[in-house]
Amino acid sequence: MARHSELQESGDNPPSRLVRKHRLSTRLWHWINAAALLALLMSGLMIFNAHPRLYWGEYGSFEDAAWLEIVSDGTRGAINLGSSSIETTGLLGIWTDGDGIRQERAFPYWATIPSGYDLAAARRWHFFFAWIFALALTGFMLRALLNGHIARQLHIRREQWSPAHIWREIKAHLRLRPSDRESRLDYNILQKFSYIAVIFLLLPLMIFTGLAMSPGMNAAWPWLVDIFGGRQSARSVHFIAAFLLLGFFVVHLAMVLLAGPVNGLRAMITGWYRLPEASKAEEAGGKNEGE
């Protein structure tokens, strides 16, 4: 299949080019991963509602000191982080449900699956999508290694390690104007850092900390619990990693909107990205995946 096709637009619009940007395997994994992680996050928040406290070590109960907890005293909701307390009345700890009834739970109904308190159902949702997530991630990583996606798209070139280059990208992103060539055809250095961290650190960390919290895995692989310093430490790391992923997706969506949501969505659905004529000269420096 050709790597790109020319497309002449009518009227006064400049000609543009469609370039192949994402392979089918990348697009499938992207959408499966997005759906699975959303279901995992929302069902995980319902599971957290059963005991909205986090500890370090092997054990944790209401008698033990928690490093983070979401509490309510009947009139006020708050997040207690160590010795600090942040009021969250109306959002976390105490809030009003869709029927106008005040509820005292950590996370509100609109952020959880199911929306009504049901720990057993939340666990079923969580375990079901955890398998989808784990299998899809394994398949994607194997496919990405075999088809060269990692070498092409995530390899950090020598010039990109330059502190001046990294600082230039940081300033461009702070101005909400990432570099044109890399933002269109290649991952810039900040994208590469973040994607490497997400795919090879945070996502596997979510899987292994989830396994470490399972009593069955505790019996089969006790060393896994020891790696994280106990089941409660694994639960804390799992929670922290989940919210780091949430932060990544918020930034990712913001950058998609700033770069042009229609073009970005088309690329992730069809694989084709519309490249304006002004950027054709930059194509030589880009590294598309192609088919």
The DSSP string of the chain is --SEEEEPPSTTSPPEEEEE---HHHHHHHHHHHHHHHHHHHHHHHHHHTS-EE-SSS---TTSPPSEEEEE-SS-EEEEETTEEEE-TTTSSSEE-TTS-EE--SS-GGGSSSSS--HHHHHHHHHHHHHHHHHHHHHHHHHHHHTTHIIIII---GGGG-HHHHHHHHHHHHTT---HHHHHHS--HHHHHHHHHIIIIIHHHHHHHHHHT-HHHHHH-HHHHHHTTSHHHHHHHHHHHHHHHHHHHHHHHHHHHHH-HHHHHHHHHHSEEEEEGGGGGGGGG------
Q: What is the pLDDT of residues 118-130, one digit of tens each?
A: 999 999 999 999 9
Q: Is the pLDDT of residue 71 over 70?
A: yes
pLDDT band at 179, cuts 50/70/90?
low
State residue 178's pLDDT score.
57
- pTM of the predicted model, to two decimals? 0.78
Q: What is the pLDDT of residues 13-40, one digit of tens each?
A: 445 577 777 777 778 888 998 899 999 9
Instruction: Answer whether residue 95 shows pLDDT above 50.
Output: yes
pLDDT of amino acid 287:
43
Reported as a single tens digit per residue, the pLDDT across 191-221 is 888 888 988 899 899 999 999 998 888 888 8
